[in-house]
Structure 1
Amino acid sequence: MKYYLSSYKFGNQIKELKRLIPQNNKIGHINNSRDWVGADPERVNKHQQEEIELLNEIGFKAEPLDLKEYFNKTEELKSKLNSLGGIWVSGGNTFVLRMAMKLSGFDRIFKELITRNDFLYGGYSAGICILSDSLKSIDIVDDPNNFPYKGINKPIYEGLGVFNYSFMPHYDSDHFESEAIGKEIQRCIDNKWLFKALRDGEVIIVE
């Protein structure tokens, strides 16, 4: 799997993102990090459509991939993901995203997806935080006790485990979460937790 990991939105490496487009340029846009209790559905849908349009302008064939439609339908989700060349995972609440991944079986399927050299994982904010081995370092920024789905009523702190450090997006940036990220970073330092801070615009590419 290849990774395009941005602090915010698509970052400042659009040319590199174009280069990473797989031969199968069909990509699923996962927006479940914005399913939190109290979210404005109209605003959420508008946000997703804007990002899908941008992905299409870059050269992808993007479509919504709502993990809620696959709750308790893991085999169907597996088939869908296998038909794609990549996914784009949007920002929002990392803990809500993690719950959706659990209920749909995405977290189990992901263990197989990471072995594919022809698959692209792109995302930002919550979409990259979810890749860490633990989510304990971001529960100041993201509310871990927001439970929008039936079947889960306690936070999941286990990430997808691709990286043994936490991502700290929006560091020292003009973003409303930047101050809280600063507090998270200090907590990481105090507890000797590994982390990597990214300013908005910065991107990490892993091939």
Structure 2
Amino acid sequence: MRLYLSSFRLGNRPERLLGLLPGGRADGPVAVIGNALDAESSEVRAAGVERETAALRALGLEPVEVDLRDHAGGRARDLAGLLSGHPLVWLRGGNVFMLRQAMAHSAADAAFTALLESDALVYAGYSAGACVLAPSLRGLEHCDDATAVTRVYGEEPLWDGLGVLDRPFVPHLDSPGHPETVLLGEVSRAYGAAGVDHHRMRDGEVLVVNGGDLHR
């Protein structure tokens, strides 16, 4: 399993992202998933995806968007086949509940679980893209609007994460200037009071998993 999970955007160690790729190079286009922005206007969403593609291009990668909404109602096996054609998939931040719902509707949740188990790609991203890997999303509604799912999908939000990580991932902590640092500090303190161990991440920090090794 190869993971590169950043608190905010690429973080301070992009060379470690490239280091997860064989030879430090991608042998094909890398996928960008921007579905955490699906509750935003089309203009805001497009600008958010373009910001990620520009950052990845600056690393010498060739990014293309994969919109999970285009695969709603599909089978996990089919989406896994599509995603496995990309050596790396980058999931940007936004609303973790919107991302989780898009994953469920497209079977990306099952697809990613299978692909990570077989080490078929690098899963990378930040904020919501990392938070969705936790066993549960409970607590994050203090920061992200879970009711956006009902407005967009007409459904109740999902509260289970993908369970790839063994504990919650809490980004933007102690990060002056980030608009969510205060709210996520409250989330972290609530987890601590409840005895819930979690990854505490400042902006710039990254969590890297390569096989059985986890580094920060």
TM range (shorter): over 0.9
Counterpart residue number, 1:81:
83
Within 5 Å, which residues of 2 pair with 1:1-40?
1-22=1-22, 23-36=26-39, 39-40=40-41
TM-score normalised by the chain length of structure 2: 0.89
Q: How many residues align?
A: 204
Within 5 Å, which residues of 2 pair with 1:1-207?
1-22=1-22, 23-36=26-39, 39-74=40-75, 75-147=77-149, 148-150=151-153, 153-173=155-175, 174-207=177-210
Deviation by residue 1:96-132 (Cα, 9 ceiling, x = unmatched)? 1000000000111122101233410110000000010
Question: Structure 2 CA distance, aligned partners of 1:44 and 1:136?
Answer: 25
Query: How high is the sequence identity, in percent, across the aligned residues?
Result: 32
> Please, which runs of 5 or more residues in structure 2 have no aligned partner?
211-216
- TM-superposed CA distance for 1:12, in Å, is 0.2
- The answer to whether the 8 Å contact 1:21/1:59 transfers is no
Question: Structure 2 CA distance, aligned partners of 1:163 and 1:79?
Answer: 23
Residues 139, 61 of structure 1: CA spacing in aligned structure 2 closer, same or farther, 3 A cutoff?
A: same
- The answer to whether the 8 Å contact 2:113/2:164 transfers is no
- The answer to whether the 8 Å contact 1:70/1:76 transfers is no
- TM-superposed CA distance for 1:180, in Å, is 0.2
- The answer to whether the 8 Å contact 1:137/1:166 transfers is no
Q: What is the root-mean-square deviation of aligned Cα atoms in Å?
A: 1.5
TM-score normalised by the chain length of structure 1: 0.93
